[in-house]
Amino acid sequence: MVSVDGCVFCEIAAGERPARVVLDDEVAAAFLDTRPVFKGHVLVVPRGHVETLADLPPEEVGPFFARVRAVTRAVEAGTGAAGTFVAMNNRISQSVPHLHVHVVPRNRKDGLRGFFWPRVKYDGDAEIADYAARIRAALDAGDDL
């Protein structure tokens, strides 16, 4: 897997930068967003550095999206959310130039409208660790991978 020096997501995937990781395997890493739309918002990134979906080799698309699918289920189960919003940007509005898929827990009347993404904050490290642990436990309990 190719990493790019200075890429935040490559550093997280390599274990060189701290993050609240919920999934870490040979295909992808998934971790809590530090500026979540809602608590439990996870980013799923391919282990190798690619900037956009078009750059992801065709043979890696299926395995990568299997991880996105598993994380989606785990976010719902781990947070008690009624559903999720799953999205990615390609270059425009992509805050880190490394492919990443947002998995955002959703509930009816949660205030999210269209592409207006308000941000929330965790109440501290204990709450962040709790959300990560619940999502990780839901992943471990699932049979998606």
Catalytic positions, written as ranges: 100
Question: What is the DSSP code (8-state) at residue 80?
Answer: T
Q: Which amino acid is at 109?
A: K
| H helix or E strand, kind and range, residue 78 | helix 58-79
Cα separation, 12 vs 28, in Å, equals 11
Cα separation, 41 vs 37, in Å, equals 6
**Which residue from 101, 95, 113 is spatially nearest to 72, judged by alpha carbons?**
101
